[in-house]
Amino acid sequence: MPRRNSRDGSGPPAWRWLDPPVANGTSTIHEVSDAADIDAYVRGIWQAWAPHRAQVEAWAATAVSREPGIGRCITAS
């Protein structure tokens, strides 16, 4: 029997491929050395993926509805 990844047994969400952006942020993970660098790195990545933001937010909302405790880990942009 296939393994389920949700507590209610409804199975995994439907995922689709997101084409990566050409420019994936303004820095690389290798340039991160402190909290300020991490913040700038994450903001750059999120901005680069902005065309897919609605899809990512929908996936996050689905995850929260399936796993109530996960909502504490997701913050708004």
Domain boundaries, the chain: 29-73
Residue 10 structure tokens = 């409804």
**pTM for this structure?**
0.55
Q: CA 17, CA 74: separation in Å to the nearest integer?
A: 21
**Pair 5, 12: CB distance under 8 Å:** yes
- Tens-digit pLDDT profile for residues 23-74: 777 777 888 888 888 888 888 888 999 999 999 888 888 877 777 666 555 5
